């Protein structure tokens, strides 16, 4: 018999609610080796993340990685940790709050929460809380624009594993990806234009996406193609030619081949080719985190300048931009069709105008 989660007793008189659950990767509770070890163990034990034989990986993970990497990772986290905590946690919490507020201003009283695939707040805890609030219809939105089994796939796995422990399960819908959503592309383009207006336009725009092993493409992940499409659509929105931008992949781990070209190789090569002023953006992240603030904004800058580049400018993730929150609201409303009352036409037009037509 399943080990059921504790649920409120059924009440014939209560009003069912619709909920939206935003999902992100996760973060350790503190920038310390002690906090990093359980976080990394949970993350790197995920079969969706590491797909090599379990016995071999268990020895590598527990015998080498968890004894060496926590200290190094803690130092990296410490370099970007804010007074409010992990940037990813801070941004995701704010996005959920702003999304709820914007939808509420459009007449939609939804339960909007967020959870992390690894670490806290845990998916099981948040879902149990949503059920206690009377959520009978649930929309799950992984905050990864491009689908990969190791990101969106495993986030949805965790939701379904939790739902299997509920006796009274809610209706469920999921968002698979939004790599070509017009509002998302418009918000990215507006952020680049704003950067150019404030700092001048660089000689090259680099679009760096999170990397995954090359074999995932051969096994059927659409991630590579969706990243390239996002890059192409963003370039078109900015009026860039093929020589004005490049798409690459960061965060390589281990010795296996990953999606190419690699970001750090690209930065070094561009500097040596004479690109003096470089702009770089990470379209695959909904909020700034370790991979953007430390790996790209800090390590990438050091590498580019050391290779002969003159000026390196990191463009922040969408974070809490109004046009991005509007795009997220539009994505949610489109996927809640039939579950909620459609806002008045004027309000809907205003919402979509903010999402699709934002200029900065």
CB of 142 within 8 A of CB of 23?
A: yes
Fold of 182-315: Rossmann fold (3.40.50)
Strand partners, 22: 114, 141
Radius of gyration of the chain (CA): 21
pLDDT tier, 197 (very low <50, low <70, confident <90, very high otherwise) = very high
Q: Pick from 207, 270, 210, 265: which is nearest to 235 by CA?
A: 207
Percent of the chain whose pLDDT exceeds 70: 91
Could you give phi then psi for residue 168, rounded to 5 degrees? Answer: -105, 85
Percent of the chain whose pLDDT exceeds 90: 87
> What does the mean pLDDT of the chain come to?
92
| pLDDT given at position 340 | 83
**Preceding amide of 261 cis, omega within 30:** yes
- Among 20-24, 67-71, 155-159, 344-348, the minimum mean pLDDT is found in 344-348
Asked if 17-26+86-177+321-356 and 182-315 have one fold, the answer is yes
| pLDDT given at position 345 | 52
Give 267-299 pLDDT, tens digit per residue: 999 999 999 999 999 999 999 999 999 999 999
- Among 123-132, 255-264, 343-352, the minimum mean pLDDT is found in 343-352
Question: Is residue 64 over pLDDT 80?
Answer: yes
Taking the C-alpha atoms of 211, 75, 81 and 39 in order, what is their torsion angle to the nearest 10 degrees?
60
| pLDDT given at position 13 | 62
Hey, what long-range contacts does 31-39 have (CB within 8 A, 24 or more apart)?
Answer: 31/74, 31/75, 31/77, 31/78, 31/81, 32/74, 33/70, 33/71, 33/73, 33/74, 34/70, 35/74, 36/69, 36/70, 36/71, 36/73, 36/74, 36/77, 37/66, 37/70, 39/118, 39/119
Give 74-127 pLDDT, tens digit per residue: 999 999 999 999 999 999 999 999 999 999 999 999 999 999 999 999 999 999
| pLDDT given at position 255 | 81
Determine whether the annotation assigns residue 236 to a binding site.
Answer: no
Strand partners, 206: 246, 280
pLDDT tier, 254 (very low <50, low <70, confident <90, very high otherwise) = confident
Please provide the CATH number assigned to the domain covering 17-26+86-177+321-356. Answer: 3.40.50.1400
Helix or strand or coil: residue 7? coil
Domain ranges of the chain: 17-26+86-177+321-356, 29-80, 182-315
| pLDDT given at position 343 | 55
Determine whether the annotation assigns residue 295 to a binding site.
Answer: no
Question: Is residue 171 over pLDDT 60?
Answer: yes
Question: Is residue 1 over pLDDT 50?
Answer: no
User: How far apart are alpha carbons 275 and 201 in whole angstroms?
Assistant: 12
CB of 300 within 8 A of CB of 293?
A: no
């Amino acid at each position: 018999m399943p080990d059921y989660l504790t649920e409120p007793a059924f009440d014939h008189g209560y009003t069912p609610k619709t909920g939206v659950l935003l999902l992100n990767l996760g973060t350790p509770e503190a920038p310390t080796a002690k906090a990093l070890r359980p976080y990394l163990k949970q993350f790197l034990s995920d079969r969706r993340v590491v797909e090599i034989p379990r016995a071999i990986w268990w020895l590598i993970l527990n015998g080498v990685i968890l004894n060496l990497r926590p200290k190094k990772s803690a130092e990296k986290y410490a370099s970007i940790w804010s007074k409010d905590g992990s940037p990813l946690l801070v941004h995701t919490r704010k996005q959920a709050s702003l999304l709820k507020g914007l939808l509420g201003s459009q007449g939609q009283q939804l339960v909007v929460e967020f959870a992390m695939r690894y670490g806290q707040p845990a998916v099981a805890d948040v879902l149990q809380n949503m059920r206690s609030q009377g959520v009978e219809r649930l929309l799950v939105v992984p905050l990864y624009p491009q689908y990969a089994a190791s990101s969106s796939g495993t986030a949805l796995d965790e939701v379904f594993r939790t739902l299997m422990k509920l006796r009274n399960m809610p209706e469920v819908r999921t968002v698979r990806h939004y790599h070509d959503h017009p509002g998302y592309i418009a918000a990215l383009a507006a952020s680049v234009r704003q950067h150019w207006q404030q700092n001048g336009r660089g000689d090259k725009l680099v679009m760096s996406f999170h990397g995954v092993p090359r074999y995932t493409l051969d096994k059927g992940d659409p991630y590579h193609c969706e990243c390239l499409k996002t890059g192409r659509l963003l370039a078109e929105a900015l009026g860039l030619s093929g020589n004005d931008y490049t798409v690459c992949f960061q965060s390589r781990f281990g010795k296996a081949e990953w999606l190419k070209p690699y970001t750090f190789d690209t930065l070094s090569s561009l500097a040596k080719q004479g690109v003096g002023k470089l702009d770089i953006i990470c379209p695959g992240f909904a909020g700034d985190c370790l991979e953007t603030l430390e790996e790209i904004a800090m390590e990438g800058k050091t590498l580019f300048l050391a290779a002969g580049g003159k000026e390196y400018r990191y463009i922040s993730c969408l974070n809490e931009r109004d046009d991005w929150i509007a795009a997220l609201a539009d994505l949610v409303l489109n996927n809640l069709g039939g579950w909620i009352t459609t806002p008045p036409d004027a309000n809907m037009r205003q919402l979509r105008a903010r999402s699709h037509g934002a200029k900065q």
